[in-house]
Amino acid sequence: MNRRLWITSVIGFALFLLVWAAMANGLTKAIDQGGLRLFDSWQWFDPFTFLGNGKTIGAVSVMLVICLWFFRRDVYGMVLVAVAVGGGYGINEWLKHIIGRARPPHAEIGGFSFPSGHAMIGTIYLLLLAYFLAQTRTKRGERAAIYGVFGALALLTGLSRLSLQVHYPSDVLGGFLLGGAYVSACLALYRTLVERRERL
């Protein structure tokens, strides 16, 4: 399991770098413009953007930390949530300022565009929720269903940024890839520490 997580993380980071390079060299321009036109009329995605808002992520993350303490006394899990969500936010902001990509022309919010914070941090905290919820189930089908539901919510969160016209498709794709890669690395490290503690 840990090995698969590390492999997933490395592949995700590599794909993110490819998307970044393609965007920086103008290779995503046609797809970005076409994607914005396509999603402009799909307003039903808009409400899902609340799942990636800072307040929503903060509230859910705090509740997850509290549950990990009261129901499992999982200190490593609590640190995992803080490092994954807080660290992911810091990395996202750092990259946005380094890359400095402007948002789409009609975006009504400020800040930089690549990678999408909603897509990245949404992916991180929703997959963390899926991971801990899946651990409460013994049947593989039930665990797969949990991951499917939370994966779909992460996808809808990212797509809402396109329907709202505040990100380009490559921003959202980059956010998904980096978020998935980072949370996979965090989970791999968490599992390694937990397994080491259990052997002591």
pLDDT at 124: 97
How much is the pTM? 0.94
Which parts of 100-139 fold into alpha helices (H)?
117-134
pLDDT at 30: 95
CB-based burial label for 31 (10 Å; 0-12, 13-18, 19+): middle
CB atoms closer than 10 angstroms to residue 144: 12
Separation CA 131–CA 129 (nearest Å): 5
Tally of domains in the chain: 1
Q: Which residue has the tokens 């941090």?
A: 121
Over residues 132-152, the pLDDT tens digits come to 999 988 899 999 999 999 999
Q: Tokens in use for 115?
A: 């990678």
* CATH code of the domain covering residue 26: 1.20.144
Report the residue count for the chain. Answer: 200
pLDDT at 196: 86
pLDDT at 106: 83
Separation CA 159–CA 165 (nearest Å): 10
pLDDT at 132: 96
> Please, which residues have CB within 8 angstroms of residue 47's CB and are 6 or more apart in sequence?
160
SS3 labels along 28-85: CHHHHHHHHHHHCCCHHHHHHHHHHCHHHHHHHHHHHHHHHHHHHCCHHHHHHHHHHH
Question: Which domain does 9 fall in, by range?
Answer: 2-199
pLDDT tens, N- to C-terminus, the chain (200 residues): 788 999 999 999 999 999 999 999 999 999 999 999 999 889 999 999 999 999 999 999 999 999 999 988 999 999 999 999 999 999 999 999 999 999 998 888 888 999 999 999 999 999 999 999 999 888 999 999 999 999 999 999 999 999 999 999 999 999 999 999 999 999 999 999 988 887 76
pLDDT at 27: 96
Q: Tokens in use for 199?
A: 């052997």
